[in-house]
C-alpha cells in the first residue's frame, strides 16, 4: 500500500473473504482507521467472535440472492458464499456509479474449492474479474507437500487450479481485464498461469498479481452494455477517470 501511495487512514471499508490467517489478522484491524467499516459474512463473524478475533464492530452480511448492500452512495456490494474448508469463503461483486466514474463493475473471488454457478452468474460480464489461479496440478502432485495438504488443496474445498480458473474466467467473460490472484509460490508460476489462461485467445487482458511486488493500477474500461444471463444491465463506463 505504501508503495502505491496509500495510507491506512485512507481506507474507508474492508471486506473479509474468510478467516485464514493470511486473509484476516488482529493486527490488520488495529491498523484500520476508526471510521473504516469491516464487512464480514455472518457465519465468519460468529466464528471470529467465539475465537476472540474481533477487536471492533463489524457489518455482517448473509450473501442472500436478494441482498445488495449500499457501501457508499456510489458503491454497492453483493456476495456469494462458496466452499472453502469448514466455513466457506465470501466472493464479491462491486458496482460503482457516480458523476465522475459513471457505472463500472468488479468481481473478486479467491480461495475457492470450486466455482459454483452462483459466482459465474453474479459476476457475468463484469468489467474486471479478479479470480484465484492458485496451482499447476503437475507441480502440485510433484511437490514435497504432505498428501493430506495436496488432497485439501485439490479436493474441491481448497483452491483453484489454473485450468479451473481459466474455465471459470471464460464463463464469466470479463469485458476488460482478468486479474489472476493467489498464485502458489511452490506449485505455480506466472508463465504457467498465463499460458493456461491464454489458450483460448480470450478477448480480455490478463494481469497476474505477485506476492513480491504491487500490482499496477487497473482501470475499469467500458466495452458496451453489460448483460447478465437473465437480464440486461446498464452500460458500463470507466471506474477510474
Task: For 61-95, write each residue's pLDDT tens digit.
Answer: 998 888 999 999 999 999 999 877 678 899 999 99
- Considering only CA atoms, which of 110, 48, 97 is closest in space to residue 71? 97
Beta bridge partners of 41: 61
Per-residue pLDDT at 134: 97
Enclosing domain of residue 31 = 1-61
Q: 149-163, 174-188, 209-223: lowest mean pLDDT where?
A: 209-223
User: Does 73 lie in the same domain as 40?
Assistant: no
User: Does 159 lie in the same domain as 116?
Assistant: yes
Q: Give strand ranges (E) for the chain.
A: 13-15, 37-41, 59-61, 69-72, 75-82, 89-98, 102-109, 128-132, 177-181, 205-208, 224-227, 232-236
Q: What is the pTM (predicted TM-score) of this model?
A: 0.87
Average pLDDT over all residues of the chain: 87
- Evaluate whether residue 218 is within a structural domain: yes
Ramachandran region, residue 92 (left: φ > 0; alpha: ψ -120 to 50; beta: rest): beta
- Mean pLDDT over 214-237 rounds to 55
Total count of domains within the chain: 2
User: Does 57 lie in the same domain as 72?
Assistant: no
Amino acid at each position: 500500500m505504501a508503495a502505491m501511495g496509500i495510507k491506512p487512514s485512507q481506507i474507508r471499508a474492508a471486506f473479509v473473504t474468510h478467516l485464514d490467517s493470511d486473509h484476516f489478522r488482529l493486527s490488520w484491524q488495529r491498523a484500520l482507521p476508526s471510521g473504516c467499516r469491516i464487512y464480514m459474512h455472518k457465519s465468519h463473524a460468529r466464528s471470529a467472535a467465539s475465537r476472540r478475533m474481533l477487536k471492533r464492530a463489524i457489518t455482517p452480511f448473509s450473501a442472500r440472492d436478494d441482498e445488495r448492500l449500499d457501501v457508499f452512495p456510489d458503491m454497492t456490494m453483493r456476495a456469494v458464499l462458496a466452499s472453502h474448508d469448514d466455513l466457506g469463503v465470501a466472493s464479491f461483486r462491486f458496482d460503482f456509479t457516480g458523476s465522475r466514474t459513471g457505472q463500472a463493475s468488479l468481481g473478486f473471488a479467491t480461495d475457492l474449492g470450486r466455482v459454483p454457478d452462483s459466482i459465474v452468474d453474479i459476476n457475468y460480464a463484469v468489467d474486471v474479474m479478479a479470480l484465484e489461479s492458485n496451482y499447476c496440478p503437475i507441480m502440485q502432485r510433484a511437490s514435497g507437500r504432505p498428501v493430506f495438504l495436496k488432497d485439501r488443496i485439490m479436493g474441491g474445498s481448497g483452491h483453484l487450479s489454473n485450468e479451473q480458473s481459466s474455465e471459470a474466467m471464460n464463463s464469466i467473460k470479463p469485458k476488460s481485464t482478468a486479474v489472476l490472484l493467489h498464485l502458489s509460490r511452490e506449485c505455480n508460476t506466472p508463465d504457467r498461469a498465463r499460458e493456461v489462461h491464454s489458450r483460448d485467445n480470450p478477448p480480455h487482458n490478463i494481469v497476474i498479481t505477485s506476492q513480491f511486488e504491487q500490482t499496477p493500477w487497473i482501470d475499469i474500461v467500458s466495452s458496451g452494455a453489460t448483460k447478465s444471463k437473465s437480464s440486461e444491465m446498464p452500460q458500463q463506463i470507466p471506474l477510474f477517470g
